[in-house]
Structure 1
Amino acid sequence: MELTRDKLCSVIKKWHTLIEGWTDVRTTDGYTVRMFAIAFTKKQDNAVSSNVYAKASQVRLIRKRMVDVMNAEAGKVALRDLVKNLIAESIGKEIEKRGK
């Protein structure tokens, strides 16, 4: 998925780690959907440093969890229900919950 330069610049924050993940998922009605997810590191309340970088091992773990959630959530529903879940952001909330 390609984002325009201005959209990408507005999404990316300085001093944070950008984590991208994608997977091909087959829905229950036989459609193959390529899903993309993007995540950022979040500054904790008690953090002293100005940057919030993640280690490479943490990035791999978060990306794996993102792909696992996308496969689990999208693989058990039909395409119509998948679109409803994407609009309601239930998959994104599940990714955020498991990423902590």
Structure 2
Amino acid sequence: MTVGKNKNLMKGSKKGAKKKVAPAMFNIRNIGERVVTRTQGTQIASDGLKGHVLEVSLADLQNDKVAFRKFKPIITEDVQGTNCLTNLHGMDLICDKMCSVVKKWQTMIEAHVGVKTTDGYLLRLFCQQQGCQIRKKMMEIMTREVQTNDLKEVVNKLILDSLEKACQSIYPPHDVFGRKVELVKEPRFELGKLMELHEGSSSEKATGDKTADGYEPLVQESV
């Protein structure tokens, strides 16, 4: 008996949901779901998810209402089971914060520098500050803070405002922000390095909250 002639028979769904999982440096790991067409013939479901990007607010990732950054986009690099393993792809300030620092009779100085982390990620950082500041000094600080760390440590520094605090050693300190981070070039994809970003505890983060949403470590099919 066909499905169309019998109302008691349900037609199988062609769509399935995959959960987006953020890296371990954030408190909130479950950042939403992505609907994708199920695997049919030569069309693999995971192929439609890899490379998909999304924009997530730091306030949602850290459960902090006063956070004024957004990580955009977070890119899906691998799919394991029903989980999409994501990686960082950039950072930006929210529009409201950008508009609030623009004031009368003050000069805004912006500096940007391209620097490579120890694990091979080439980042372009933008830093802005109001007042008569030295652009060269700002570039030196950003270069020093990024060159000696990997991508995970750089993200932790952005969450904890360590880069801004380092730049405030310039006199006079006033409204120093890491405005933007662009991922210019990334190394060749390695599953082991991606799993390192999704392992570990949240002890290094600012709030110290435990990992939320009942996230369980993924089991690799092969080593």
In structure 2, how many angstroms separate the alpha carbons of the residues matched to 1:2 and 1:89?
A: 13
Q: Which structure 2 residue ranges, 5 or more long, are not aligned?
A: 1-90, 172-223
Q: What residue is the counterpart of 1:22 in the other structure?
A: 112
Given candidates 126, 132, 138, the residue that maps to 1:36 is: 126
Equivalenced residue count is 81
TM-score (norm 2): 0.33
What is the TM-score with the length of structure 1 in the denominator? Answer: 0.71
Supply the distance in 1 between the matched residues of 2:118 and 2:124 (Cα, whole angstroms): 14
Q: Which has the higher contact order (CA 8 A, sep 6+)?
A: 1
Where in structure 1 do 4 or more consecutive aligned residues deviate above 3 Å?
Answer: 1-9
Return the alpha-carbon distance in structure 1 between the equivalents of residues 121 and 113 of structure 2: 14
Partner of 1:68: 140
User: In the aligned structure 1, how far is the partner of 2:130 from the partner of 2:139?
Assistant: 15
Identity %: 41
2:108, 2:164 → 1: CA distance? 16
SS of aligned partner of 1:28: coil
Q: Which has the larger radius of gyration?
A: 2
Q: Relative to total residues, which structure has the larger strand share, 1 or 2? A: 2
Q: Cα deviation per residue 1:3-34 (whole Å; 9 max; x = unaligned)?
A: 88765433211111101000111000000011
What's the Cα RMSD here? 2.2
Which residue does 1:49 correspond to in 2?
Answer: none
